[in-house]
């Protein structure tokens, strides 16, 4: 098997380098242009979500590239995510996503967060009265399994699930998740979760592999860390390339968001770097710090999660 892909439990391969399309400005033309550029550079794995507002732009760009003959649909790996207000009906939500994107199927459909919101809530930060009391993950997962049976997607998975939530899901799932997409980078290494997922043949896909610089909640701490910088200098690489290669060296795919052509090329060259045992050991001893903490899903009254510790099951 090629070194730039991993094989999922469903048999599909997932490219280790993915392009994220979350754009706070929801700038359609910029997104379309960036996706075309990414395809030319060699990206084949694209990540979106209903709540990102980029499904339509990504789908348009992919559709154009397919019609131009630049790529074939089979060459692409496309992920989107079930938003929390659609947990009551994943099938309808996925049918709408496919319609929005102009695709016949997704390669990967994920439960975005382990939280259920009231139908119709389409803002990323819910208000206090918009939470459902029950998580209802079992019923939601049954809907996800049905999406798979209907051929609407090739694999199903989750995002932002702790080790405990993975175990809870495996207790009742008829089809185990193929993927768990979580924050993962040299300053949040997910050692316990990686072990749990590896033992259960669940692929880890890492979002914010550079720490999310440029996002309102992100940080430059990863790419500005002196240890990461020194490893980059040693390999004649950039800190971003070191951080991305670290994630891939752990068997994870990494979802990196840049709409800048030069940065996209730089990020793709991470596939060519080889980190040695000393590099990996240095990174393993860095102080850990979770950047995307999910405070917006925690409150004392209506959320099933009364604290950050509850949301992440003390894995933070």
For the chain, percent of residues with pLDDT exceeding 70: 98
Q: pLDDT band for position 27 (50/70/90)?
A: confident
Q: Are 131 and 118 in contact (CB under 8 A)?
A: yes
Q: Are 184 and 206 in contact (CB under 8 A)?
A: yes
Active-site pick, 22, 43, 52, 305: 52
- Is residue 3 classed as helix, strand or coil in its secondary structure? coil
Tokens describing residue 1: 């098997």
Helix (H) or strand (E) holding 183: strand 179-183
Q: pLDDT band for position 20 (50/70/90)?
A: very high
CA 162 to chain centroid, in Å, comes to 14
- In this structure, is the dihedral angle defined by the CA atoms of residues 218, 224, 229 and 231, taken in order, positive or negative? negative
Q: 50: buried, middle or exposed (CB in 10 Å: 19+, 13-18, 0-12)?
A: buried
CATH class of 5-312: alpha beta
For helices 163-172 and 137-149, give the axis angle rounded to 10 degrees: 60
Q: Which residues are annotated as a binding site for substrate?
A: 112
pTM listed for this prediction: 0.96
CA distances 268 to 21, 32, 149, Å, are: 16, 19, 34
Quick one: DSSP state of residue 85?
G
- Is residue 172 classed as helix, strand or coil in its secondary structure? helix
22 is catalytic: no
Tens-place pLDDT, residues 235-268 = 999 999 999 999 999 999 999 999 999 999 999 9
Q: Which residues are annotated as a binding site?
A: 112
Q: pLDDT band for position 23 (50/70/90)?
A: confident
Q: Are 253 and 182 in contact (CB under 8 A)?
A: no
The domain limits of the chain are 5-312
């Amino acid at each position: 098997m090629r070194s730039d892909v991993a094989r999922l439990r469903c048999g599909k391969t997932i490219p280790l380098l993915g392009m994220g399309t979350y754009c706070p400005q929801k700038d359609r033309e910029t997104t379309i242009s960036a996706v075309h550029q990414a395809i030319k550079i060699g990206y084949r794995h694209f990540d979106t979500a209903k709540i990102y507002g980029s499904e339509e732009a990504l789908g348009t760009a992919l559709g154009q590239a397919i019609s131009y003959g630049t790529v074939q649909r089979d060459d692409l790996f496309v992920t989107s995510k079930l938003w929390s207000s659609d947990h009551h009906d994943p099938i309808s939500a996925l049918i709408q996503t496919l319609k929005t994107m102009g695709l016949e199927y997704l390669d990967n459909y994920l439960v975005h967060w382990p939280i259920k919101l009231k139908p119709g809530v389409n803002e990323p930060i819910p208000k206090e009265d918009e939470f459902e009391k029950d998580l209802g993950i079992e019923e939601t997962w049954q809907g996800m399994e049905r999406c798979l049976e209907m051929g609407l997607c090739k694999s199903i998975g989750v995002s932002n699930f702790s080790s405990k939530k993975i175990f809870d899901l495996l207790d009742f799932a008829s089809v185990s998740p193929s993927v768990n997409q979580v924050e993962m980078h040299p300053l949040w290494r997910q050692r316990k979760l990686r072990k749990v997922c590896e033992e259960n043949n669940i692929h880890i896909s890492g979002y914010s592999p550079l720490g999310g610089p440029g996002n309102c909640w992100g940080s430059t701490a990863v790419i500005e860390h002196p240890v990461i910088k020194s490893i980059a200098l040693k390999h004649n690489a950039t800190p971003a390339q070191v951080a991305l290669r670290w994630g891939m060296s752990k068997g994870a795919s990494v979802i990196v968001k840049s709409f800048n052509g030069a940065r996209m090329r730089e990020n793709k060259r991470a596939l060519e770097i080889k980190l040695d045992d000393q590099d990996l050991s240095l990174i393993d001893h860095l102080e850990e710090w979770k950047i995307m903490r999910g405070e917006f899903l925690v409150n004392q009254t209506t959320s099933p999660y009364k604290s950050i510790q509850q949301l992440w099951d003390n894995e933070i």
